[in-house]
Chain A
């Protein structure tokens, strides 16, 4: 079983709609969590960190559920520019222990 698992998608979303997807992790000792965004054939870039109490950054909301060992990302009012692959990243405690999920592809359509 992979340490970090994501639904690969694609999630096809009409412009203006809301989309949400999860990422599950297997190691209960994981300490910090992030969402990265990767455009096609580009490098990943940090989208947002995920805090225990949940956090928002504009149209993006991230949640952490430690009991069920998953994090989620919700995108409201989707824009065409939100089309990308979203990578879940889990840190087990040191920089050598970052684990990346394979990504969830989101396609926003007009």
Chain B
């Protein structure tokens, strides 16, 4: 009954460091996506995938990379962290229907 699992839940980075946020879902959903949520702003789409091997950019893709080698996993890589990437990151999956299932979020602080 795991749903969408994100790790880590909290992370502090220094400017210039790289890291990967992990996302895994056990619902066999084809669609997966990454959002960031900042105060006063709606969730903004970073990258998304409609199936293994297929990824595309969302609204705010700069500074982030993704890959989708399996249906279950959709990691988000920060290449060189910047303070502007301090945010709460949510991974979501969907069976292609009407509902997004979100992970619990990853809170990232870049110093």
Q: Which residues of B contact A98 (CB under 8 A)?
A: 45, 100
Residue A71 lies at the interface, judged by CB distance under 8 Å to chain B: no
A102 to B56, CA, bound (A): 23
**How many residue pairs bridge A and B at CB < 8 Å?**
47
A4 in contact with B98 (CB, 8 Å): no
Q: Is A110 an interface residue (CB 8 A)?
A: no
Contact of B102 among A8, A44, A95 (CB under 8 A): A44
| Assembled-state Cα–Cα distance A103/B43 (Å) | 10
With known contacts A95-B48, A95-B96, A96-B45, A8–B104 Cβ distance under 8 A: no
Complex-state Cα separation, A43 to B99, whole angstroms: 13
CB neighbours of A34 from chain B (8 A): 98
Q: Which residues in B have some Cβ–Cβ distance to A below 8 Å?
A: 31, 33, 35, 40-45, 48, 50, 56, 58, 90, 94, 96, 98-100, 102-105
